[in-house]
């Protein structure tokens, strides 16, 4: 598809390309460089893994071993070597990595996302301290909300505006354009804010230097709905990777893409098309060796799916308390399954470590 490029968007893109953080050349003060990972996406990167359900599963011998290290007595473990900053729908918060950095509000530990398994995996593998910068907002598309500057505007812009004007006659094309790339700009702004004040986010940081070591992307659901967003996904994702790398001055920054995994092996329709587009990005020659796509469908929790069908979807056999021992949300949020969200985070971490080693 062809795309028109607006001068305002181009100007913003050029500003970002010039806004490159200065990375210290070597570690100072005898400490190893801080490793920084960026995680971004929509609601499932925000995190819908149910801590309540995970607590139930800690009583299940078959599942306990997966989660046992996350809790000591009545308290969830906080890592001393992995830190997180999270900007999302409920504002910004930061601290030591533990449960609760999902969609839940500050001080509320009900939910977690892929950051938990990811942080434990890279934290255990690396000698350096780790900082995760997570920016995620529910209901956001790559086609519009996270649209990278280099992609301009889609050819379907006027068609989309005309449809929306039926509900909002006052809406103008110029006003609607403002939303394109809004959350891309929010994401990059948060990254630069944190990099400029690392001691706030990692209290024992002593100017030893840092390395932006990798980026994880987990998103896709809302790209089912715009006229060309499915067929354009691969190009949009490629533009996203290139623009992020240029902005950060990291031309070969390792990227892990989590392909949509809804419905597991039974995936079809637009969901499958988007997942295929996400997989195709990593096959591009220009990304060989530094971009990988994981099919998260392999981590779909079949046990939680069966429980959802029996104890929630079927009114005749509905049993909410039993359902909560398997999951705690709808299928589009991967059933709120702690098994899915933790396993997926671990897989992201393993893939990232492999890219770094390669």
pLDDT at 8 over 70: no
Euclidean distance between CA atoms 100 and 80, whole angstroms: 16
Q: With left for phi above 0 and alpha for psi between -120 and 50, is residue 29 left, alpha or beta?
A: left
**CB of 46 closer than 8 Å to CB of 187:** no
Residue 51: its pLDDT value, please?
Answer: 97
pLDDT in tens, 289-304: 999 999 999 999 999 9
Structure tokens at 235: 């190009």
pLDDT at 250 over 70: yes
Residue 30: its pLDDT value, please?
Answer: 65
Domain residue spans of the chain: 3-357
SS3 content of the chain, % helix, strand, coil (to 5): 45, 15, 35
pLDDT in tens, 52-67: 999 999 999 988 999 9
Residue 308: its pLDDT value, please?
Answer: 98
Residue 112: its pLDDT value, please?
Answer: 97
**CB of 148 closer than 8 Å to CB of 161:** no
Beta bridge partners of 3: 154
Euclidean distance between CA atoms 138 and 57, whole angstroms: 27
Query: No. of H helices and E strands in the chain?
Result: 14, 13
- Tell me the whole-structure pTM to 2 decimals: 0.92
For CA atoms 156, 5, 179, 262, the dihedral sign is positive
Over residues 152-162, the mean pLDDT reads: 95
pLDDT in tens, 99-139: 999 998 888 899 999 999 999 999 999 999 999 999 999 99
Beta bridge partners of 195: none
Residue 105: its pLDDT value, please?
Answer: 81
Q: What angle do CA 144, 147, 148 make, to 5 degrees?
A: 165
**What percent of the chain is predicted at pLDDT more than 90?**
87
Higher pLDDT, 329 or 11: 329
Beta bridge partners of 191: none
Q: Tokens 């220009």, residue?
A: 286
pLDDT, mean over the chain: 92
Residue 7: its pLDDT value, please?
Answer: 43
Over residues 7-32, the mean pLDDT reads: 50
Residue 121: its pLDDT value, please?
Answer: 98
Residue 358: its pLDDT value, please?
Answer: 86
**CATH number of the structural domain 3-357:** 3.40.50.1110
Residue 86: its pLDDT value, please?
Answer: 97
């Amino acid at each position: 598809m062809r795309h028109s490029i607006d001068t305002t968007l181009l100007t913003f893109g050029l500003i970002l390309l010039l806004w490159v953080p200065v990375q210290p050349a070597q570690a100072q003060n005898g400490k190893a460089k801080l490793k920084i990972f960026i995680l971004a996406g929509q609601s499932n990167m925000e995190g819908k893994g149910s801590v309540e359900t995970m607590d139930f599963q800690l009583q299940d011998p078959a599942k306990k071993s997966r989660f046992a290290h996350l809790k000591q007595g009545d308290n969830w473990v906080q890592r001393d070597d992995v830190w997180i900053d999270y900007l999302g729908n409920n504002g910004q918060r930061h601290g030591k990595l533990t449960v609760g950095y999902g969609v839940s509000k500050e001080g509320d530990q009900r939910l977690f996302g892929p950051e938990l398994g990811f942080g434990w995996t890279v934290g255990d593998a690396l000698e350096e301290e780790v900082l995760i910068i997570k920016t995620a907002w529910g209901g956001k598309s790559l086609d519009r909300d996270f649209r990278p500057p280099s992609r301009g505007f889609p050819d379907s812009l006027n068609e989309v505006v005309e449809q929306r004007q039926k509900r909002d006659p006052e809406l103008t094309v110029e006003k609607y354009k403002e939303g394109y790339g809004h959350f891309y700009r929010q994401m990059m702004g948060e990254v630069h804010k944190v990099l400029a004040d690392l001691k706030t986010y990692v209290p024992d940081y002593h100017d030893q230097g840092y390395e932006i070591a990798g980026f994880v992307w987990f998103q896709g659901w809302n790209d089912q709905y715009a006229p060309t967003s499915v067929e354009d996904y691969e190009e949009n994702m490629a533009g996203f990777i290139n623009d992020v790398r240029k902005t950060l001055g990291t031309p070969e920054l390792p990227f892990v893409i989590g392909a949509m995994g809804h419905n597991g092996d039974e995936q079809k329709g637009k969901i499958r098309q988007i997942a295929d587009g996400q997989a195709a990005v990593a096959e591009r020659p220009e990304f060989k060796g530094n971009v990988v796509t994981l099919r998260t469908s392999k981590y779909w929790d079949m046990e939680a799916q069966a429980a959802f069908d029996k104890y929630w979807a079927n009114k005749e056999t509905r049993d909410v308390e039993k359902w909560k021992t398997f999951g705690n949300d709808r299928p589009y949020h991967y059933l709120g399954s702690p098994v899915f969200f933790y396993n997926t985070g671990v897989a992201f971490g393993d893939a990232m470590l492999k890219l770094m080693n390669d």
